[in-house]
Amino acid sequence: RPRVFSGIQPTADSFHLGNYLGAVRHWVALQDSHDAFYCVVDLHAITAGHDPKVLKQRSRVAAAQLLAVGIDPERSTLFVQSQVAEHSQLAWVLGCITGFGEASRMTQFKDKAQKQGSERASVGLFTYPVLMAADILLYQADAVPVGEDQRQHLELSRDLAQRFNTTFGPTFTVPAPHIVKDTAKITDLQDPTSKMSKSSSSPAGIIDLLDDPARSAKKIRSAVTDTGREIVFDAVGKPGIANLLSIYSALSGRGIDDLVAAYDGKGYGDLKKDLAEVVREALTPIQERTRTYLDDPAQLDKLLAQGAEKARVVAAATLRATYDRIGFFPPL
């Protein structure tokens, strides 16, 4: 069976609808056809400053949400990145074949470094995409389900795999992006030309998976739309309505054309009211299951440790092959 790998950062108290619809929902679907590895990437979550008191809890909440949306630890390997040391070890090796200029061109780095002030941005933020390549290559992943914002990072992972293979001999599978167009970029409700983002959207622009229904309904009601009246899907001319339709379609399973036909002659208010209900129906069971997993943290931690042990078997084999290729002694 082909392999998939993907990761998500525990940098907020909840995933948002962009994470869910753009990535995590596809992770669930891929479990049937693929040998799947899914990771809460806490190493990535310390690159821009963090609070040690909340990080571990956020990792648990992230894992609980993944279980709640349907990641099945019997079928998939679900784990926390820092529990598998091979990620850091391979990242060092890959860092040594990454060009400084190549890493400098990563747009997410440039954006974040600019926001923090380039003197203050950490070296970890700079090498973040190299660690991400290590995550993927360690598992010999064929495909990586992510949102559009990760495309450039994936391109780097592919380049590094190819470069290593050419220089030292075939070692890594070259991973392909798995980006589902309809939900690849869910946008900010207050700024529908920008992506919905944990780090840069305002709270009103984001619907969190764990938001209570009244709160998400209010955010949907206040979502920015254009001054027209007609409900049509036009990502350029009507980005706000297009985003609401994309969310509606993904959560309800109804096609965009079907929705546009159903709302013919109705107003934005009707669409928003119904969407709030669709969101409530989709998220309430996820929220209940998330709470159940969080009620028993010892059991959750145990499940994650078991996942890390399974992951390590694969990761260790790749690291051993890599060390051999580059002339290191075998890892003990």
Residues involved in catalysis: 112, 195, 198
Rounded distance between C-alpha atoms, residue 223 and residue 188, angstroms: 9
Give the phi and the psi of residue 267 in degrees, each rounded to 5.
Answer: -105, 175
Strands (E), the chain: 3-8, 35-40, 77-80, 143-145, 176-178, 187-188, 191-195
Question: Taking Cα atoms as reference points, which of 308, 309, 320, 310 lies closest to residue 93?
Answer: 320
**Among residues 22 and 240, whose Cβ is nearest to ligand TYM?**
22
- Residue 223 in tokens: 């979502």
User: Please, what is the minimum distance in Å from the beta carbon of residue 194 to ligand TYM?
Assistant: 9
Q: Cα(320)–Cα(275) distance, rounded to whole angstroms?
A: 51
For residue 160, give the 3-state DSSP assignment: helix
Residue from 113, 125, 147, 225 touching ligand TYM (CB under 6 A): that is 147
CB of 110 to ligand TYM, least distance (A): 15
User: For ligand TYM, which is the closer residue by CB, 196 or 210?
Assistant: 196
| Least distance CB 116 / ligand TYM (angstroms) | 16
Restricting to residues 159-218, which ones interact with ligand TYM according to CB under 6 A? Answer: 184-186, 195-196
Please name the amino acid found at residue 103.
A
149 is in an annotated binding site: yes
Question: Contacts with ligand TYM: how many residues (CB under 6 A)?
Answer: 25
Q: Which residue number has the CB closest to ligand TYM?
A: 22
Q: Is 38:7 a contact under the CB 8 Å cutoff?
A: yes
| DSSP track, 104-122 | HT-HHHHHHHHHH-TTTS-
Is 149 exposed, middle or buried, given 0-12, 13-18 or 19+ CB atoms closer than 10 A? middle
Which of 144, 189, 241, 259 is close enough to bind ligand TYM by CB under 6 A?
Answer: 144
* Interaction mask 41-80, ligand TYM, x per CB under 6 A: x--x------------------------------------
Q: Of 4, 23, 67, 121, which lies in the binding site for ligand TYM, with binding defined by CB under 6 A?
A: 23
Binding footprint of ligand TYM on the chain (CB under 6 A): 5-9, 18-19, 22-23, 41, 44, 132, 135-136, 144, 146-147, 149-150, 153, 184-186, 195-196
Which segments are annotated as binding site for L-tryptophan? Answer: 135
Which segments are annotated as binding site? Answer: 9-11, 18-19, 135, 147-149, 186, 195-199
